[in-house]
Structure 1
Amino acid sequence: MQTKNFAALALVALAQFSVGVFANSGYAASCKNIQIYPPDGNTNYWKIAADCTNNAQQTNLNTKINIDSCFSNSNGSLVAQLNGSFGSSCTNVILTGTVLSASCRNTAGASINTSIDTNNVIGNANGALYCFNQGAL
């Protein structure tokens, strides 16, 4: 009896985790004109901007998200991480489609070319870009 309860509890936990991941991914399906912007005089972080459809099927133009809050440099590799601040240790940052590429320093100081698909981390919630349940700018 306890084994069945544990299995049911594990399935519920897995389902909740899956829903959370899904809610924060897949923005490319409902967002167009996806672009990346470097830090500027007003901000010190990288941004992705896009035109995203909301629940009423209207387009929110130029919604933005701070992607330094979504990605990190882990020993020369871009990884999804809340408040990662990849921009402080990566250069030559570009976005091709939804793939974020950069040259990031590892712990030995060497630069490593790396990439990650932002579509697996960023989602569209009612016309606003999100990652890790953090909203748009």
Structure 2
Amino acid sequence: MQTKSFAALAIVALGQFIAGASANSGYAGSCTNIQIYPPDGNTNYWKIAADCKNNAGQTNLNTKINIDSCFSNSNGALVAQLNGSFHSSCTNIILTGTVLSASCRNTGGANVNTSIDTNNVIGNADGALYCFNQGNL
């Protein structure tokens, strides 16, 4: 009996995780001019910037999000993770449309080419980019 209860609990938890991920996604539908920026003299993280519509239909220009707070390197694969800090172990970071690509080190020290669609993780909340309920810059 305990095994069935644990399995049911795991299914419920997975469903809530998936629902949370989808609630945080889909910014490409209401944002344009999506671009990526590397760390600079003012910040030590990668960010995505976009022009995003708010609830009133007006466009907030150049809204930004720290994508190190949204993605991680998991053994050479980019994955959605709160406070992931992917860039510390990844190079050749680019954004093509909404697809984030990089070469990330795995646990054996080899670099692996990987990508993830940021549109499945990042959302637009009233003109502000966010992931995992964390707001924009």
CA distance in 2, matches of 1:56, 1:77: 38
Match of 1:24 in 2: 24
Match of 2:105 in 1: 105
> What secondary structure does 2:113 align onto?
strand
In structure 2, do the counterparts of structure 1 residues 19 and 56 end up closer, same or farther at CA, with 3 Å as the change threshold? farther
In structure 2, do the counterparts of structure 1 residues 102 and 60 end up closer, same or farther at CA, with 3 Å as the change threshold? same
Gaps of 5+ in 1: 1-11
CA distance in 2, matches of 1:93, 1:43: 16
Amino acid at match of 1:117: D
Alpha-carbon contact 1:49-1:64 (below 8 Å) kept: yes
Alpha-carbon contact 1:47-1:64 (below 8 Å) kept: yes
Match of 1:121 in 2: 121
Large movers: runs of 4+ above 2 Å? 12-23
Deviations 1:48-82 (A, max 9, x none): 00000000000000000000000000000000000
> What secondary structure does 1:22 align onto?
helix
TM-score normalised by L of structure 2:
0.87
CA distance in 2, matches of 1:19, 1:75: 25
How many residue pairs align between the two structures?
129
Identity %: 87
TM-score normalised by L of structure 1:
0.87
CA distance in 2, matches of 1:17, 1:114: 23
Map 1:31-110 → 2, pairs under 5 A: 31-110=31-110
Deviations 1:93-112 (A, max 9, x none): 00000000000000111000
Alpha-carbon contact 1:23-1:125 (below 8 Å) kept: no
Deviations 1:86-128 (A, max 9, x none): 0000000000000000000001110000000000000000000
C-alpha RMSD over aligned residues: 2.0
